[in-house]
Structure 1
Amino acid sequence: MIIDLSGKTAIVTGSTGGIGLAIATGLARAGAQVTIVGREQSRVDEALAQLREAAQRDDARGVVCDAGTAAGCQALMAAQPETDILVNNLGIYGAREFFDIDDALWEEFFQVNVLSGVRLARHYALGMRDRGWGRIQFISSESAANIPAEMVHYGVSKTALQGLSRGLSKVLAGTGVTVNTILPGPTRTAGASAMMAELAAERGVSPEQMEALFLQENRPSTLLQRFATPEEVANLSVYAASPQASATTGAALRVEGGIVESIL
């Protein structure tokens, strides 16, 4: 299968590193003109340099804004009024005892993990619908179906994305615009690696041993039995953005290594 996104534009939020940058790079390699979105100019510039080298193209753009806020979304929409592919990857996470999650933290997770995607989809979907083609993705998590006790607020926000994606796919039914969620599991991003290194130091093991312990203790149902790479997650996202995925919409596409105990 040859995925050709030549002539298509794509926006990937939260794309200065990790899964977001891997998705942006994959889309660029497939031919799309990609916009990187991040909060810091230096990180956006660094991500653009990495993408241009990896994809061997120089048409990628960068927008510096905080897409987790209403003002930031407005800035992004002003800088890039239309797109063919929207990947809502921006998200925050972090372990916190349930009884210590106050209203402010609940609100922050909902604003960043859910409302950022709502705002951008509400704007960009209109142009996609009018043109008769588009791809909207929400990067969710296996935690949406397997809510972790150590970060209930995160899991709930990702479950909300599942409902949002399914509902929007119905709104756009028959228009040529598909809407799907991508559900990664534990992925070896810089943030995850830093967390494993910190835990490893506390327990006197290597980071590699800590990854195995983390899965054994927190995700024992994993069939992959290792952390995925950002590129493995990106591969599914790029396919879902392709013309070949035209019959896939309203779906929760899992790339979580079999953690979720479900055959559906």
Structure 2
Amino acid sequence: MNIDLTNKTAIVTGSTAGIGFAIAKGLAQAGATVVINGRTPAAVDKAVAAIRQAVSGATVRGVAADLGTAPGCEAFVKAEPSADILINNVGIFGPQDFFEIPDSEWTHFFEVNIMSGVRLSRAYAPGMIARQWGRIVFLSSESALNIPADMIHYGFTKTGYLALSRGLAKRLAGTGVTVNAVLPGPTLSDGVEAMLKDTAAKAGQSIEDAAAAFVKAHRSSSIIQRAATVEEVANMVVYVASPQASATTGAALRVDGGVVDTIA
């Protein structure tokens, strides 16, 4: 399958590292003009340079903006007023006991993990409709279905993305714009590598082996029995963003290694 996104502009939020960076790189490899996003100019510039170095002839630029705020989203849209592909990837997570999560933290998670996608989809979808082609992808998580007891606020936002993506797909029925959610499972992102670095060093393990041990201990239903790579998640997103995925919309597409124990 030859995915060609030449002449398409793709925005990937939260794309200076991890899954977001891998998605941006994959879209650039498919020929898209890619817009990198992060909160600081330094991080954005570093990611842009890394993709230019990795992908010969890549057309990539960046916009630094905090998309967890309405003014940040407004500034981003002002800088990039049009897009053919919108990947709503930016998100935050972190374990915290339900009884210790204050209202302010619930609001913060909602603003970053939900409202960033709402605001940007609302801004870019009309242009996609006018062009009769577009792709909107929400990065959810297997935690949307397997709500973590130690991250209820995080799981809540990822379940929210499933509702948002399905509802928006219906709203855009017949327009040529598809809307889907992608659900990664345990993934060996930069954040996970940092979390496991000390554990791996103490056990004399590679990061990959430490991640596999973590999956077996904490996501025992995993069928692949290891963490996915960021590239494996990105591959699914690039496909969903492609012309070849024109009949896929309103879907929740799992890249969870089989963690969610269901055939539906």
State TM-score, norm by structure 1.
0.96
Amino acid at match of 1:61: R
Structure 1 equivalent of residue 175 of structure 2: 175
* Aligned equivalents of 1:211, 1:217: Cα separation in 2: 10
Shift, 1:216, TM fit: 2.2
The 8 Å contact of residues 188 and 211 in structure 2, kept in 1 or not, is answered as no
Structure 1 equivalent of residue 73 of structure 2: 73
Shift, 1:58, TM fit: 4.3
* Aligned equivalents of 2:184, 2:19: Cα separation in 1: 9
**Corresponding position: 1:31 with 2:36:** no
* Aligned equivalents of 1:8, 1:173: Cα separation in 2: 21
* Aligned equivalents of 2:212, 2:235: Cα separation in 1: 24
* Aligned equivalents of 1:97, 1:136: Cα separation in 2: 33
SS of the equivalent of 2:92 reads coil
* Aligned equivalents of 1:232, 1:95: Cα separation in 2: 25
* Aligned equivalents of 2:135, 2:46: Cα separation in 1: 26
Structure 2 equivalent of residue 11 of structure 1: 11
Amino acid at match of 2:29: R
Deviations 1:69-114 (A, max 9, x none): 1111001100000100000000001111121111111111111000
Structure 1 equivalent of residue 20 of structure 2: 20
SS of the equivalent of 1:169 reads helix
SS of the equivalent of 2:167 reads helix
**Corresponding position: 1:153 with 2:153:** yes
Structure 2 equivalent of residue 56 of structure 1: 56
Count, aligned residues = 263
Structure 2 equivalent of residue 89 of structure 1: 89
Amino acid at match of 1:4: D
Percent of matched pairs sharing the same residue? 59
Amino acid at match of 1:99: F
* Aligned equivalents of 2:105, 2:200: Cα separation in 1: 27
* Aligned equivalents of 1:22, 1:204: Cα separation in 2: 28
* Aligned equivalents of 2:246, 2:212: Cα separation in 1: 37
Amino acid at match of 1:214: F
Structure 2 equivalent of residue 144 of structure 1: 144
* Aligned equivalents of 1:132, 1:204: Cα separation in 2: 54
Shift, 1:197, TM fit: 2.0
Amino acid at match of 1:68: G
SS of the equivalent of 1:15 reads coil
Residue pairs, 1:112-127, within 5 angstroms: 112-127=112-127
SS of the equivalent of 2:150 reads helix
RMSD: 1.3
Deviations 1:177-205 (A, max 9, x none): 0000010011111111111124556x756
Deviates more, 1:215-224 or 1:152-161: 215-224
* Aligned equivalents of 2:105, 2:135: Cα separation in 1: 31
* Aligned equivalents of 1:208, 1:26: Cα separation in 2: 22
* Aligned equivalents of 2:199, 2:109: Cα separation in 1: 24
**Corresponding position: 1:41 with 2:41:** yes
Amino acid at match of 1:52: R
* Aligned equivalents of 1:211, 1:231: Cα separation in 2: 16
Shift, 1:211, TM fit: 2.1
* Aligned equivalents of 2:98, 2:200: Cα separation in 1: 24
Shift, 1:214, TM fit: 1.9
* Aligned equivalents of 1:93, 1:245: Cα separation in 2: 29
The 8 Å contact of residues 19 and 189 in structure 2, kept in 1 or not, is answered as yes
